[in-house]
Amino acid sequence: EAQVTQNPRYLITVTGKKLTVTCSQNMNHEYMSWYRQDPGLGLRQIYYSMNVEVTDKGDVPEGYKVSRKEKRNFPLILESPSPNQTSLYFCASRDYSYEQYFGPGTRLTVT
Amino acid sequence: GQQLNQSPQSMFIQEGEDVSMNCTSSSIFNTWLWYKQDPGEGPVLLIALYKAGELTSNGRLTAQFGITRKDSFLNISASIPSDVGIYFCAGQLNNDMRFGAGTRLTVKP
């Protein structure tokens, strides 16, 4: 089954404790993105990657890092999480058709 | 970056009614997409539009790509309880994709 998977689905952590949210897709898509979703703000892009070893900042990249060492994986790293990064995070992938496929989401709470 | 203006923010309708929502932007886009998000899930693509003026249907859903390339609408006919969820529009220009804030739809049986 074609899908985007994320782990973990839920995470509660404390300020400053480094964390990684994994994302993997099995559709051989070149393009992958990370979004955060906050009430009333819709989806905002954090980082995107157009291919292996090619990443670029989206609209809200501060406090986040990404890497793209393999085509299928695109982890999101929070080196020192803060409470304002409490949010619902989605990974997405697409090919050149612009039809994005989203993962199930990771709900992060930073206390 | 500028997000899209999506309206209405929420709708409460009776089962069987038709629904209409729209998105507007000050920028032009090459592609418009409509997604639905169920509680606890990621957005799922409903309809993709690739050409100005294009009208596309997917079952009871119909969407149009505005002729100015700055707007799009989504209609749902004869709503049913499983239509409940949040509907998002998205506009794409090259590698830049923008989302609306969503329309929350509630359908009363």
DSSP designation for A73: B
* B65 bridge partner residues: B72
Put simply, whether A45 touches B (Cβ < 8 Å) is: yes
Cβ-based contacts of A31 with chain B (< 8 Å): 95
Residue B8 has pLDDT above 70, yes or no: yes
User: What is the Cα–Cα distance from A19 to A106, expressed in whole angstroms?
Assistant: 12
Q: Specify the pLDDT at position B80.
A: 96
User: Model confidence over B13-61: pLDDT tens digits?
Assistant: 999 999 999 999 999 999 999 999 998 889 999 999 999 999 999 999 9
Residue B2 has pLDDT above 80, yes or no: no
What A44-47 contacts at long range (C-beta under 8 Å, 24+ apart), as own/partner pairs, is A44/B3, A44/B99, A45/B97, A46/A76, A46/A89, A47/A76
- Asked whether the beta carbons of residue B95 and residue A50 sit closer than 8 angstroms, the reply is yes
